[in-house]
């Protein structure tokens, strides 16, 4: 019994000593993945590449150390590092716990990591890792922290999958346009506070009606996807919408007519000064002739009234791009 207690005491002492060492040298190694730092990513660098990663932390968090993978390190939160030689470098960010990370901005920096790296970051609200073809972020929407408000990965080689219903409840802005992502679901399943959804030029397939968009929606960008969007029934909730892009979604003439007809039916509801609709590309042309008619009876007559007549009729002038 005494031998057992002695062994247990040694284990506790060793654990305490390791924790004290970790805190004292600023290298808080959470015991994940065999004791490796939880925040790591790879940088596929060309010779002379400078990266400028920026993170913000919650109040009271210690200053992190960045181990750049080339034998050098730095401390801080707004960083700049240049790689002298080409190669793929593993970067480690030490000294902070997942709960202390608030935002991540790696704009223009080639970055390779799974989205699940951030799954335990309870205070994380914003991730922006954009505008680098060498960036590859993979994972699912469901792996994001519950408090996420902004996810921006546009113009990268990232692959994100999931449904709109799996987006964190507080999400307001998501931009996965021009990535290899596939998002599915209905407009009605988005979080109530959603403001901007960019999924253009992805393999996403979104369905639903303009009438079912969340009340605060300002941008719906689904151009060049496999989405099917209609106007729907009932007055719109998202009366402040400023840009709708459902171009190149293989819409037939009847569907195009229905969407512009919905905008016309509720023409006095829209509040944005100059709302925009993109409905051209591979979509079929609206019906009829582009001319004034009161009331309009074809798609092109409706478009004429929405784009030319608002001043005299007291509603907002739309800018509409359509297939001639």
- 178-232 pLDDT, tens digit per residue, is 999 999 999 999 999 999 999 999 999 999 999 999 999 999 999 999 999 999 9
Give the β-pairing of 73-75 and 65-67: antiparallel
**Predicted pLDDT of residue 34:** 38
What are the tokens at 316?
A: 């907002």
Q: How far is CA 144 from CA 22, 23, 58, 136, 211, in A?
A: 27, 27, 18, 16, 28
pLDDT tens for residues 260-312?
A: 999 999 999 999 999 999 999 999 999 999 999 989 999 999 999 999 976 66
Q: Quick check: 215 and 193 in contact, CB under 8 A?
A: no
pLDDT tens for residues 232-271?
A: 999 999 999 999 999 999 999 999 999 999 999 999 999 9
pLDDT tens for residues 7-39?
A: 444 433 344 333 333 333 333 333 333 346 899
> Residue 313's pLDDT band (boundaries 50, 70, 90)?
confident
CA dihedral (14, 18, 24, 30) positive or negative: negative
**Predicted pLDDT of residue 16:** 38
Compute the distance between CA of residue 156 and CA of residue 148 in angstroms, rounded to an integer. Answer: 20
Q: How far is CA 305 from CA 7, 26, 244, 271, 320, in A?
A: 84, 65, 18, 17, 11
Compute the distance between CA of residue 23 and CA of residue 29 in angstroms, rounded to an integer. Answer: 9
């Amino acid at each position: 019994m005494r031998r057992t207690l002695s062994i247990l005491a040694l284990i506790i002492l060793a654990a305490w000593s390791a924790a004290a060492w970790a805190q004292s040298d600023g290298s808080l190694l959470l015991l994940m993945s065999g004791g490796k730092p939880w925040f790591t990513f790879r940088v596929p660098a060309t010779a002379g590449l400078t990266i400028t990663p920026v993170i913000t932390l919650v109040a009271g968090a210690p200053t992190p150390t960045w181990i750049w993978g080339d034998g050098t390190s730095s401390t801080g939160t707004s960083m700049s590092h240049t790689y002298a030689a080409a190669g793929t470098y593993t970067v480690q960010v030490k000294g902070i716990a997942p709960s202390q990370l608030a935002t991540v901005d790696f704009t223009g920096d080639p970055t390779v990591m799974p989205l699940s790296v951030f799954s335990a970051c309870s205070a994380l609200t914003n991730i922006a890792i954009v505008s680098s073809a060498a960036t590859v972020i993979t994972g699912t929407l469901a792996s994001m922290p519950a408090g996420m408000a902004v996810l921006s990965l546009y113009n990268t080689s990232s692959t994100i999958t999931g449904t709109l219903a799996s987006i964190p409840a507080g999400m307001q802005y998501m931009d996965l346009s021009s990535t290899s992502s596939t998002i599915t679901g209905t407009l009605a399943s988005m979080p109530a506070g959603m403001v901007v959804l960019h999924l253009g030029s992805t393999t996403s397939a979104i369905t639903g009606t303009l009438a079912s968009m969340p009340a605060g929606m300002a941008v719906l960008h689904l151009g060049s996807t496999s989405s099917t969007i209609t106007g729907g029934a009932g007055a719109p909730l998202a009366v402040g919408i400023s840009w709708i892009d459902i171009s190149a979604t293989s819409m037939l003439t009847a569907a195009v007519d229905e969407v512009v007809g919905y905008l016309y039916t509720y023409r006095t509801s829209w509040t944005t000064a100059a709302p925009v609709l993109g409905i051209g590309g591979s979509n079929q042309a609206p019906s009829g002739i582009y001319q004034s008619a009161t009331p309009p009876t074809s798609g092109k007559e409706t478009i004429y009234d929405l784009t030319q007549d608002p001043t005299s009729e007291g509603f907002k002038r739309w800018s509409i791009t359509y297939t001639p």
